[in-house]
Structure 1
Amino acid sequence: MKPKLLHVLGAGPWQLPTVRLAKSIGYRVLVTDVYAERPAYALADFHEVVDITDLERTLQAAIDHRIDGIICDTTDVGVPTAAFVAERLGLPGIGYETALNFTHKGRMRQLTENAGLLVPRYRVISSPVALRNAASEIAYPLIVKPVDNQSGRGVSRVSNDSGLEAAFQAAKSCSRSGDVLIEACVVGHEIIVDGFVVSGQPKILGVADKEPYPDAVTVSARIHYPDGERRPDLDRIQAATSATLSALGLLNGVFHAEFIVQARDVVPIDVAARGGGCMIYSHLIPHVSGINVMRAMIELAMGDLPAIEPATVPRAANIEFIRMPPGRLAEIFGVNAAAALPGVAAIHFNVQVGEQIGALDDKDCRPGYVVALANTAAQVIDVSRRAKSLLSVRMDGTAGPVAVF
Structure 2
Amino acid sequence: MTSAVMILGAGIYQVPLIRTAKAMGLRTIVASTPGNYPGIQEADLFLPIDTTDQIAIRSAATEQGIRAIVTTGTDVSVPSMGLVNDSLRLSGVSHQAAVHCADKTLMKDTLRSNNINTAAYLYTDNANDGLDFANSIGFPVIIKPIDSSGSRGVTRVCTANEFELAWNAAIAVSRTNVILVEEYLTGTEFGAQAFVVGNQMQRLFLHSDTVTPPPVSTPIGHAMPYTLSAAETEKLEMMTEAAVDVLGIRDSICNVDYMLVDSEPYILEIAARMGATCIPENITTYAGFDTYEYLLSLTMGDKPSLPPLDKMPCQANAALLMRSSTTGVVRDIIVPESLKKRDDIVSIQIDIKPGQGVKRFSVGPDRIGHVVVKQPTAEEAELACVDICESIDFVIDENA
In the superposition, the TM-score normalised over structure 1's length comes to: 0.87
Q: 8 Å contact 2:208–2:224 — kept in the other structure?
A: yes
Paired residue secondary structure (1:76):
coil
- CA drift at 1:137: 2.9
Q: 8 Å contact 1:257–1:271 — kept in the other structure?
A: yes
- CA drift at 1:324: 4.4
Paired residue secondary structure (1:111):
helix
Deviations 1:288-346 (A, max 9, x none): 12332322222222221221235335221212344544453543322664365222233
Paired residue secondary structure (1:275):
coil
Paired residue secondary structure (2:190):
strand
The alpha-carbon distance between structure 1 residues 162 and 361, as it changes in their structure 2 partners (threshold 3 A), is: farther
Corresponding residue for residue 108 of structure 1: 107
Q: 8 Å contact 2:209–2:219 — kept in the other structure?
A: yes
Deviations 1:39-91 (A, max 9, x none): 43444332221111111111111122122222223321111101101211222
- CA drift at 1:382: 4.9
- CA drift at 1:237: 2.3
Distance in 2 between residues matched to 1:286 and 1:65, nearest whole Å: 31
Corresponding residue for residue 318 of structure 1: 318
Paired residue secondary structure (2:217):
strand
Distance in 1 between residues matched to 2:220 and 2:70, nearest whole Å: 30
Aligned counterparts, 1:5-404, within 5 A: 5-35=4-34, 38-214=37-213, 216=215, 218-220=217-219, 222-226=221-225, 231-232=229-230, 233-281=232-280, 283-312=281-310, 314-326=314-326, 328=328, 330-334=331-335, 337-338=338-339, 341-348=342-349, 355=357, 357-358=359-360, 361-364=362-365, 368-377=369-378, 379-396=380-397
- CA drift at 1:159: 0.7
Paired residue secondary structure (1:286):
helix
Distance in 2 between residues matched to 1:355 and 1:46, nearest whole Å: 27
Corresponding residue for residue 401 of structure 1: none
Distance in 2 between residues matched to 1:18 and 1:357, nearest whole Å: 25
Distance in 2 between residues matched to 1:397 and 1:39, nearest whole Å: 24
Q: 8 Å contact 2:22–2:28 — kept in the other structure?
A: yes
Q: 8 Å contact 2:320–2:371 — kept in the other structure?
A: yes
Distance in 2 between residues matched to 1:371 and 1:122, nearest whole Å: 36
Distance in 2 between residues matched to 1:230 and 1:127, nearest whole Å: 40
Distance in 2 between residues matched to 1:239 and 1:17, nearest whole Å: 32
Q: 8 Å contact 1:290–1:310 — kept in the other structure?
A: no
The alpha-carbon distance between structure 1 residues 279 and 72, as it changes in their structure 2 partners (threshold 3 A), is: same
Paired residue secondary structure (2:289):
coil
The alpha-carbon distance between structure 1 residues 60 and 37, as it changes in their structure 2 partners (threshold 3 A), is: farther
Distance in 2 between residues matched to 1:189 and 1:16, nearest whole Å: 31
- CA drift at 1:380: 2.2
Gapped runs of 5+ residues in structure 1?
399-405
- CA drift at 1:135: 2.0
The alpha-carbon distance between structure 1 residues 362 and 294, as it changes in their structure 2 partners (threshold 3 A), is: closer
Distance in 2 between residues matched to 1:230 and 1:129, nearest whole Å: 40
Matched pairs, number? 394
Distance in 2 between residues matched to 1:371 and 1:204, nearest whole Å: 23
The alpha-carbon distance between structure 1 residues 259 and 26, as it changes in their structure 2 partners (threshold 3 A), is: same
Deviations 1:12-64 (A, max 9, x none): 33222222222222222222111166443444332221111111111111122
The alpha-carbon distance between structure 1 residues 96 and 164, as it changes in their structure 2 partners (threshold 3 A), is: same
Q: 8 Å contact 1:341–1:383 — kept in the other structure?
A: no
In the superposition, the TM-score normalised over structure 2's length comes to: 0.88
Give, as a single letter, the amino acid of the residue that structure 1 aligns with 2:173. Answer: C
- CA drift at 1:115: 1.2
Deviations 1:240-259 (A, max 9, x none): 22222222221221011110
- CA drift at 1:224: 2.0
Give, as a single letter, the amino acid of the residue that structure 1 aligns with 2:115. Answer: G
- CA drift at 1:375: 4.9
Q: Percent of counterpart pairs with the same letter?
A: 24
Deviations 1:364-392 (A, max 9, x none): 55655422134533552453244234223
Gapped runs of 5+ residues in structure 2?
none
Paired residue secondary structure (1:192):
strand
Distance in 2 between residues matched to 1:251 and 1:159, nearest whole Å: 38
Deviates more, 1:66-75 or 1:213-222: 213-222
Distance in 2 between residues matched to 1:193 and 1:78, nearest whole Å: 21
Paired residue secondary structure (1:218):
coil
Deviations 1:259-282 (A, max 9, x none): 00111310101111111112212x
Q: 8 Å contact 1:106–1:147 — kept in the other structure?
A: yes
Deviations 1:199-238 (A, max 9, x none): 22213352112244445562346422137x7754322322
Distance in 2 between residues matched to 1:271 and 1:50, nearest whole Å: 26
Paired residue secondary structure (1:77):
coil
Distance in 1 between residues matched to 2:362 and 2:179, nearest whole Å: 17
Deviates more, 1:5-14 or 1:389-398: 389-398
Give, as a single letter, the amino acid of the residue that structure 1 aligns with 2:346. Answer: A
